[in-house]
Amino acid sequence: MKYNERELLIIWLDSFKDIEYKHKRALYDLLSGKSDLKRNIESNAREISGAIGETGYNALVSSANSDYLKDTVARLANAGERAVTMASDDYPDSLKEIPEPPLALYCRGNVGLLHENLFGVVGSRKSIPLSLSLAKEFSGELVKNGFTLVTGTAEGVDSEVIKAALSVGKIISVAASGLDNIYPAENTALIEKAAKNGLVISEQREYVKPMPYMFPVRNRIIAGLATGVLVVSGRLKSGTMHTAGYCVDYGKDLFAVPYSVGIESGAGTNELIKRGANLADSPNDILSYYGIEEKREEEILFSDTERAIVSALKEDALHIEKIAERTGIQIYELSSAITALEIKGVIAKNGINTYGLIRNREI
């Protein structure tokens, strides 16, 4: 990959992890467009050392040479990454409009996805099974109707979003840490698939390990990239609420799935709806908001037993024993029908042997 002079300056500046973001931005403005990097650093010695200290200044001076830069770019290439910087043509306009946009996005996969119709889907790592089913359903419908999805790298909702979009490659997964240190480690294989079929990005170099502060900072990128964001689940104090906050601050469209009272992972989404987020209990609530006509689903065929189960669950989630009581069908007969309905995406487990409709369907 060949980079222009301004891109190389950003890649060089971003290699110094002990220099704060605001100072890197100021240094970029000060040094860009200048022909002799080392000479220009030395000519601004007092200003630069006053901002980043003598140690930082000395590090810049000693590294302002072609060998250091070649090594930095080579390490990037060896990691299988491409840097999309603020000076790159591929840098998304949506991120340029947010406060403190990333200096660079370190990318593995299809960089062209950064310029597609992006929509964020986020939620809690510890979501109830119903939430995971909803994440899968919403994501599948949004992708089918023209959106490329943006999410994180966590287990739970993030993972379901990635899986739903992987088959068509319409997924951008945003990592908080470097791409060689995916958190959680258990999701490394899934994120590698996302890089192969979609795109994985981070503002951290590949070797950077995850730190707690990186996750809320990362969430600004998800909100910044997306036209709108759906919060599938989230506690009142959670990373998803941080993403929602950025969404509001940036003037993006915010959607939230409503929950029954008493579900901890739904308390945050209910609070967002109270504050004015768009209620979304089906993908069509989002699609119609953007003037998109939902593509019709293929007709789902039901057996008599499956019909009886769906009818019993119209009002509320029920334990399998209660379903048997309402339908008059023996539990051993219900089990296979319940499994079939789960596979068809009609119901989801909502606790131990308790099931609920993902959303009401006409049968």
pLDDT tens, 192-247?
Answer: 999 999 999 999 999 999 999 999 999 999 999 999 999 999 999 988 999 999 99
pLDDT reported for residue 198: 97
3-state helix, strand, coil in the chain (%, to 5): 50, 15, 40
Higher-pLDDT residue of 296 and 336 is 336
Closest of 208, 207, 206, 231 to residue 219, by C-alpha: 231
Higher-pLDDT residue of 363 and 235 is 235
Amino acid at 167: S
pLDDT reported for residue 228: 97
The mean pLDDT of 129-143, rounded to a whole number, is: 93
Chain length of the chain: 363
Q: Report whether pLDDT(80) > 90.
A: yes
The mean pLDDT of 37-44, rounded to a whole number, is: 91
Q: How many CB atoms lie within 10 A of CB 78?
A: 9
pLDDT reported for residue 213: 94
pLDDT reported for residue 360: 54
pLDDT reported for residue 316: 80
Q: Report whether pLDDT(361) > 80.
A: no
3-state secondary structure of 101: coil
pTM of the model: 0.83
Q: Report whether pLDDT(302) > 80.
A: yes
3-state secondary structure of 354: strand
3-state secondary structure of 276: coil
Distance CA 360, CA 347 (A): 9
Which backbone phi and psi does 291 adopt, to 5 degrees?
Answer: 70, 25
Which backbone phi and psi does 108 adopt, to 5 degrees?
Answer: -130, 120
Q: Report whether pLDDT(295) > 70.
A: no
What confidence tier does 58 reach under pLDDT thresholds 50, 70, 90? very high
pLDDT reported for residue 296: 60
Distance CA 175, CA 168 (A): 20
Is 226:119 a contact under the CB 8 Å cutoff? Answer: yes
The mean pLDDT of 116-135, rounded to a whole number, is: 93
Distance CA 137, CA 17 (A): 40
Rounded to the nearest integer, the mean pLDDT of the chain is 92
Give the CA-trace dihedral at 60, 66, 71, 73, to 10 degrees: 90
Tens of pLDDT, residues 7-30: 999 999 999 989 999 999 999 999
Is 8:73 a contact under the CB 8 Å cutoff? Answer: yes
Q: Report whether pLDDT(363) > 60.
A: no
Q: Report whether pLDDT(362) > 80.
A: no
Tens of pLDDT, residues 320-348: 998 998 899 998 888 888 888 887 778 88
Q: Report whether pLDDT(358) > 80.
A: no
